[in-house]
């Protein structure tokens, strides 16, 4: 158990509304953000499993707000799933409250803990094994939009302020270029130009929001395959998990980020750019799954803007890698000297590839409606 002893976990567990004694505990899953444990509780009617997690408070400055968002969204989902005749214990996360009734327990060292009912007979996969897995993740994230379509998104906390405010990120990028604290700007002129030439991409969604032409949605903001639980028997996506980054946002951004990393033919830090492209087959698979999951809840405008979502998210990500390179690699962890530069180049290659395939991407979206 990484940093915790069994006794420590046992002490934390005592602060949650568990009806049974903890009889087993082990570290669980492949998450990179939180510390996750699987606990087995002995109950009269048979043993039950729960998830216990310490929230990473370096990433989330206000864990109380994270938990308030999660409580509100999961309660709403639970209700919706019941109304639709689904299984609310498997199709949404369910928070187990602390003994004092709060959604979390704060330990003496300032650690934030929370607990969920364990979702049985399902698995989180790190890698897409077949296009069907990619479809299932798209469908699940689309369904998430569908179920939350009438939720008042503006009432949620913006737990990471300006997370996908691409216009603000563009301004921050320009500042990083001007300051050039590492003296690296001269050697990456081509990449800098790539960003500056596309200010319209940075502004696109912000301007539409200013004009109130886009609805604010409940977005997930971490739409990886391994945040979907896939049923062991049917291999269908059953539940969206990892709701820490649930915030008000745009449907196209959740969609676009999935395309950015899921439909790319190469790794995010591939050095050989000839291997990097946007796979239109995977783009189609994801678009189909996402729109089917959304079940008609997106506006015509949102649907039309799905390719733009892919482009904006990829552009924004590349811009952030390049800004971090200019600032001396202070945000993203690097494993080699020009790692952030390599990363920004794959993103810009993808953006350029999407621009070349723009009409085809739009046709695919039109076909999937």
Ligand X SMILES: Nc1ncnc2c1ncn2[C@@H]1O[C@H](COP(=O)(O)OP(=O)(O)O)[C@@H](O)[C@H]1O
Q: Residue numbers of the site for ligand X (CB under 6 A)?
A: 28-34, 36, 51, 93, 116, 118-119, 124, 226-227, 241-242, 244
Q: What are the structure tokens assigned to 220, written together?
A: 């997930």
Q: What are the structure tokens assigned to 350, written together?
A: 């993808």
Decide if residue 131 touches Mg ion (CB under 5 A): no
Q: From the list 94, 115, 166, 227, which residue makes contact with Mg ion (rule: CB under 5 A)? A: 227
Q: Whose Cβ is closer to ligand X: residue 226's or residue 287's?
A: 226
Task: Tell the smallest beta-carbon distance from residue 29 to ligand X (Å).
Answer: 3
Decide if residue 279 touches Mg ion (CB under 5 A): no
Q: Whose Cβ is closer to Mg ion: residue 242's or residue 269's?
A: 242
Q: Which residue is nearest to ligand X (CB)?
A: 31
Decide if residue 31 touches Mg ion (CB under 5 A): yes
**Interface characters, 237-256, with Mg ion (x: CB under 5 A):** -----x--------------
Decide if residue 140 touches Mg ion (CB under 5 A): no
Q: Whose Cβ is closer to ligand X: residue 94's or residue 327's?
A: 94
Task: Tell the smallest beta-carbon distance from residue 17 to ligand X (Å).
Answer: 16
Task: Tell the smallest beta-carbon distance from residue 84 to ligand X (Å).
Answer: 20
Given Mg ion, ligand X, none, residue 104, with its beta carbon under 5 to 8 Å by kind, binds none
Q: Whose Cβ is closer to ligand X: residue 241's or residue 310's?
A: 241
Given Mg ion, ligand X, none, residue 32, with its beta carbon under 5 to 8 Å by kind, binds ligand X
Contact status, residue 1 vs residue 36, Cβ threshold 8 Å: no
Total interface residues for Mg ion by CB under 5 A = 3
Contact residues for Mg ion (CB under 5 A)? 31, 227, 242
């Amino acid at each position: 158990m990484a940093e915790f002893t069994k006794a420590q976990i046992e002490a934390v567990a005592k602060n949650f509304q568990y009806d049974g004694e903890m009889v087993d505990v082990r570290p669980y899953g492949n998450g990179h953000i939180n510390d996750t444990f699987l606990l087995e509780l002995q109950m009269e009617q048979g043993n039950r499993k729960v998830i216990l997690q310490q929230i990473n408070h370096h990433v989330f400055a206000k864990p109380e707000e994270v938990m308030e968002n999660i409580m509100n969204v999961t309660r709403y989902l639970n209700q919706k799933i019941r109304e639709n005749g689904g299984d609310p214990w498997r199709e949404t996360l369910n928070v187990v409250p602390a003994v004092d009734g709060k959604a979390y327990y704060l330990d003496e060292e300032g650690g934030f803990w929370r607990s969920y009912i364990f979702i049985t007979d399902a698995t989180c996969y790190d890698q897409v094994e077949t296009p069907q897995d990619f479809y299932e993740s798209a469908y699940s994230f689309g369904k998430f939009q569908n179920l939350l379509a009438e939720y008042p998104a503006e009432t949620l906390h913006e737990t990471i302020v300006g997370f996908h405010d691409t216009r603000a990120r563009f301004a921050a990028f320009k500042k990083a270029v001007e300051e050039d604290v590492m003296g690296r700007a001269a050697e990456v002129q081509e990449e800098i130009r790539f960003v500056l030439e596309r200010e319209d991409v940075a502004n696109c969604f912000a301007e539409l929001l200013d004009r109130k032409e886009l609805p604010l949605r409940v977005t997930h903001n971490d739409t990886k395959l391994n945040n979907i639980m896939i049923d062991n028997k049917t291999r269908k996506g059953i539940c969206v998990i990892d709701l820490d980054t649930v915030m008000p946002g745009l449907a196209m951004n959740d969609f676009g980020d999935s395309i950015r990393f899921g439909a790319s033919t190469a790794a995010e830090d591939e050095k050989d750019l000839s291997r990097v492209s946007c796979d239109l087959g995977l783009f189609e698979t994801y678009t189909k799954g996402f729109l089917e999951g959304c079940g008609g809840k997106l506006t015509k405008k949102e649907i039309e803007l799905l390719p733009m979502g892919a482009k904006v998210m990829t552009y924004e990500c590349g811009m952030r890698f390049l800004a971090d390179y200019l600032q001396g690699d202070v945000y993203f962890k690097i494993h080699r000297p020009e790692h952030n530069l390599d990363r920004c180049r794959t993103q810009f290659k993808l953006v350029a590839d999407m621009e070349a395939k723009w009409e085809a991407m739009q046709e695919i979206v039109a076909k999937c409606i």
